Amino acid sequence: MRSLIQNTVFLCLLSSCSSLAQKPNIILIFADDLGYGEVGCYGQQKIETPNIDKLAANGIKFNQFYAGTSVCAPSRASLMTGLHTGHTVVRGNKSVKPEGQMPLPDSVKTFANYLQQNGYATAAFGKWGLGFHQNSGDPNKKGFDLFYGYNDQSLAHDYFPPYLWKNHQKVDLSINKTYDSIYSASLIQQQALQYIRESSGNKPFFMYLPYTLPHGDVIGPHDSLYNYYKQKFNEQPLTGDALKTRPHNMTPEPWPHAQFAAMVGRLDLYVGEIVKALQEKGLADNTLIIFTSDNGPHRENGGDPEFFNSSGIYKGIKRDLYEGGIREAFIAYWPGKIKPAVTEKPAALWDIYPTFLELAGVKVKDKIDGISIVPLLLNKGKQKQHEYFYWEFHENNGRQAVRWKNWKAVKLEVNLNDNAPIELYDLSADPSEKNNVAAKYPAMVKKMEQRFKEAHVYNTDWPLLKSEISKE
């Protein structure tokens, strides 16, 4: 009898361990200001991205995936909380002292919190931008055992910074003075690779890689990758006043096209190194890799979205709520689990939260806007669809956008007028949003106006409409 009980206990433990082992490792590669059209598999012609293209060829590529909004912090808040920007507690890039952006409050749990509480080792390497270690948005409080990188996204414009953070310890980089100094993106990548190589395999891990590439400033090492594009483009160097228009604590970049291409190319190299490290560790087959970005391409301190056709066929760039500002590359790769495919089904950054938790076997208890895309990724079961998608943007006099089926509505300058005119586009016939058809479809305009009202919830920290601002 005793022997029978012991065997039963052993089998139960074995079953538990087996179940745990089946939980996938999850890696989220999160580029910074990467335009929809800035990688090869989405149409880029001037920059080579073979590693990202390979992920797309062997995974599922989304053609209609959307960011949280069109700038960094609120898009990342949408990612972490599973809420669109009409509901998130962080809706802009507002900075706070002593360092960083307005933090996620104590009351908000991220999906990383839930993964951590359910058996996952968790780590983030790169740019956080949702709080600082002295406040409620500390990444160590928001689900990460280990954080290495920038707490403050303002500092993240500096690729040769005086310091980074490892949890609550400042990593001194004060020796940085020249292009031959320590490039932060490289240092962050080294830490990420080390994490994979030192993984014990005893528990699944979630690794968040919010790289700073290719965010401005357009600056980086003058290495072989840079020289390759410098020769390829035959670019004329900036001099005099043109060079001075790109202020930086170091010498501005005289060949910005070459450097920007090198930044995207470097991001691609990093993706390849992550995949290789997983393969060498024997972890590739049980690891889901997601690749996407926070918002559309920038025109800051050397960025040139026109030269690179960064938004593809789409209108707008960073800070726009037209497709070019919010439509993003999105690739999911999982050998043996995800079959190569291309999908036209729309999804958004707030869908990541329930997707990761479902894969980890964690039930979502919080009220969120996201819908799990596991059925779509694994081609199993029926994929639920959003009734509509909503975005808002709190700079440039305030902007809102709604997508319902193939209809897209955009409102500008809502800080000045609650009832600003609605632009209406039929994305099925006009994906580039060239033709405003609001006058032709007044009934649809009325429906979209109702969706604007439903989706936006007033937040005292983030008044958007003129009537809300007048309350302040």
Over the stretch 203-235, which tens digit does the pLDDT of each residue have? 999 999 999 999 988 989 999 999 999 999 989
- 265 inside domain: yes
Q: What is the pLDDT of residue 245?
A: 60
- Asked whether the predicted pLDDT for residue 18 surpasses 80, the reply is no
Q: How many domains does the chain have?
A: 2
Residues 314 and 423 grouped into a single domain: no
- Asked whether the predicted pLDDT for residue 464 surpasses 90, the reply is yes
What average pLDDT does this structure show over 331-350?
98
Residues 304 and 429 grouped into a single domain: no
- pLDDT of 284-332, one tens digit each? 999 999 999 999 999 988 899 999 999 999 999 999 999 999 999 999 9
The tokens 């087959």 sit on which residue? Answer: 285
At 335, is the secondary structure helix, strand, or coil? coil
Compute the distance between CA of residue 389 and CA of residue 349 in angstroms, rounded to an integer. Answer: 11
Compute the distance between CA of residue 455 and CA of residue 97 in angstroms, rounded to an integer. Answer: 31
pLDDT class of 241 with cuts at 50, 70, 90: confident
Compute the distance between CA of residue 263 and CA of residue 258 in angstroms, rounded to an integer. Answer: 9
Q: What is the pLDDT of residue 17?
A: 40
- pLDDT of 91-111, one tens digit each? 999 999 989 999 999 999 999
460 lies in which domain range? 396-469
Q: How many CA atoms lie within 13 A of 104 on its CB side?
A: 31
Compute the distance between CA of residue 36 and CA of residue 40 in angstroms, rounded to an integer. Answer: 10
Residues 404 and 317 grouped into a single domain: no
- 9 inside domain: no
Domain boundary among 348, 378, 408: 378
Residues 265 and 339 grouped into a single domain: yes
Compute the distance between CA of residue 368 and CA of residue 384 in angstroms, rounded to an integer. Answer: 14
Q: What pTM was computed for the model? A: 0.94
Residues 374 and 400 grouped into a single domain: no
At 440, is the secondary structure helix, strand, or coil? coil
Tokens of 209: 């890689």
Q: What is the CATH number of the domain that holds 223?
A: 3.40.720.10
Q: What is the CATH number of the domain that holds 447?
A: 3.30.1120.10
Residues 91 and 170 grouped into a single domain: yes
Q: What is the pLDDT of residue 179?
A: 61
Domain boundary among 378, 409, 437: 378
What average pLDDT does this structure show over 373-378?
98
Residues 29 and 144 grouped into a single domain: yes
Domain boundary among 324, 350, 378: 378
Q: What is the pLDDT of residue 181?
A: 79
> Containing H/E element for 390?
strand 389-393
- 2 inside domain: no
AA letter at 69: T
- pLDDT of 410-441, one tens digit each? 999 999 999 999 999 999 999 999 999 999 99
Q: What is the pLDDT of residue 169?
A: 97
- pLDDT of 150-196, one tens digit each? 999 999 998 989 999 999 999 999 887 666 678 999 999 999 999 99
- Asked whether the predicted pLDDT for residue 20 surpasses 80, the reply is no
Question: What CA–CA distances, in Å, run from 240 to 252, 254, 269, 424, 436?
Answer: 11, 10, 33, 44, 42
